Structures are given as structure tokens and as C-alpha cells.
Structure 1
């Protein structure tokens, strides 16, 4: 499978960030190592945060396409599908989290979970603003903890855990 330029930049940035603070990584170094032109970078991103944010949004959109395509039959299937999508880049996301980008990753996940609520892919157990805030915050924290686990539970196990906490429905664009 050929990686997209966005995926190449995300993976390369993650790899470089294992040993180097983002502020010390030059655009030239990143693009050269990723095999992507500087012009591509500047046309699509202003900062490295944009690469991380864009990639998380890409993962959530991929999840939504899969939910729509496969019409997951129950909450557990839907939640498992979500963790399978995130698992592909969990290690890279973990690198960003432990190296100072926790707030960026967390706020982006919160934005994505809010969108899943708006689109009624997930719903809180109770229909009020506190339950909504609790659901978004809880899912975000659970996901970050899972990403950071040295031996994380399988997507199937996580699907089971989350399905017990939230309700899901077949994806319908609102």
C-alpha cells in the first residue's frame, strides 16, 4: 500500500520527534526524509501541529467511512472498528503525547468525538449537557491512556469496554 504524502509527513515527523524536539526539526529535514517537496508542505500546512491535527482528523474520517460502508451491527462492532483505525497510528500518536503534544492531541480528539455526537454515531447514556461533556472527556482520556499503554488491550476488548459506556448507531449524515 502506497502511503499518501500526508501519511509520510506524519510518520516521518513522529520518527524524528522520538529523538528531537519539534522546534529543532527543520522543514527541510522533514520533507527530505519524507520524500515530499517543501512546496507541498507549505501549501498544506503552516505548522507541525497542523500535520498532527490533520492526521487525527483523517483517522476519524476514515472511521466514519468504514462505519457507513460496513453498517456495523451493534455498539461493540462500531467501537471495535474505531480502535482498529486508531491502532494503525497509536505508536506515533503516543510519541507526540509523551513529547509535549498532549494538549494538541487531546483537543483534536475532543473535537472529533464532539462531531461523532453531532452526527449521532455515539450518544451519551443520558441526554443532557453534563453527560455529553462527560462522554467526550471520558472517551478522550480513555483513548489517550490506551495509546500510552505499553501493552494495550486489543481493539476488540476496547470495543467491548466502550460499548458498555456509550450507545452507537449506524452512521447517518445529519
Structure 2
């Protein structure tokens, strides 16, 4: 196994161990020693690679978002409805993990992961905008949009994820169009 594969294997092991422990007790009650024993990794591995449990979750989630990018259409630019449909489809598959994070007060990590992904898409000019494209570069826009999307995700999840991802995508497009169409740029 090459070093990159070993690194990914260790990250997956410690992340999955953390989630498993979180499913049985609050995050605040989990020790580094317990986590490392459960993941069958040394404490020195933890201290070399992470400063907190949040960093494990965020690092793994950032890896997961790469999977999200691979699901996007291959064309150079994508529309917001396609982007959001893919995002909610991906998040639907991660519902159990998301619920553990929410239950342990870590919803902000979901927001941070979305912010990183959305920022990268904007930076690489991958999103087709139907409204004022400069809005993406306004201070706090990405924080606003990311928080809104993840809040919708959380409410959708709490309500049992009844509506399909495409419905949520349509709602986000409708909400953002109504705000930008009313001169609130």
C-alpha cells in the first residue's frame, strides 16, 4: 500500500471510529485514547495529524466533497438547480452521519464543508449564474448562502426527507431569484 492509500485508510478508520463512538455517547465524553484504540491507531498518529475531533470530521468531510465533485456533470459549467440537486442527493446518502453531527452540535462542520465546496466551484467558474454574477464575490455572500442551504438540509432531514432533492433545488433557486430580483444584491 502506498503512503497516500495508507493516509486515506487511516483517516477513514479514525473517522468511522469517531462516528461509531458518537452513536453511543456524546462527543464530549469520548477521549483521544478511546478513539485511537477503537480505530486501532496510535495516539501519536492523532497528535501528528489532528488538533481536535472537529478536524477529523472536517478533513474527512472535505474528502467526501471530492466525491460530490465527481458526481457533477462533466460540462465546464453547471446550473444552480443541477448543483443543488446533486448536493441534496449526496446529503441524503449521508443522512445518518449528518444526524450524528447535528445531534453532537457539529452542524457548523456541514456548513464549512459546503462553503469550501461552493467557494471552489466559484473560484473555478463552474457555476452558470442567471442573476448578477458579482453577488458571489460580495462579502459574506458565501457564508449567507451556505448557511441557508445547510439550514434547509437540516430542516429537510428533521422532517424525514420526504421531498426529492430536485424539489429542494427548485426552492433554493426560487428563493435566491426572489431576493436578487428585488434589488437585494
Global fold match (TM > 0.5): yes
Aligned alpha-carbon RMSD (Å): 3.4
Helix, strand or coil: the match of 1:100? Answer: coil
> How many matched pairs?
165
Check 1:29–1:146 CA distance in 2 against 1; reply closer, same or farther (3 A cut): same
What's the counterpart of residue 142 of structure 1? 152
Structure 1's 88 and 4: CA in aligned 2 closer, same or farther, altered over 3 A?
farther
- In the alignment, what sits opposite 2:182? none
Q: Describe the superposition over 1:79-117 as per-residue Cα deviations: whole angstroms up to 9, x where unpaired.
A: 332223333322212211122223343344334333333
Take 1:38 and 1:104, find their aligned partners in 2: how far apart are those partners?
A: 23
4+ residue runs over 6 A deviation: 70-73
Q: Which has the higher contact order (CA 8 A, sep 6+)?
A: 1
Q: Paired residue for 2:131?
A: 125
Deviation at 1:48, TM superposition (A): 0.2
Larger Rg: 2
Residue segments in structure 2 that go unaligned for 5+ positions in a row: 1-7, 178-185
Bigger CA drift: 8-17 or 145-154? 145-154
1:16 to 8, 14, 21: 21
Summarize the Cα distance change of 1:125–1:34 in structure 2 as closer, same or farther, 3 Å threshold: farther
**Unaligned stretches of 5+ in structure 1?**
168-174
CA displacement at 1:162 relative to structure 2:
4.0
TM-score normalised by structure 1 residue count: 0.69
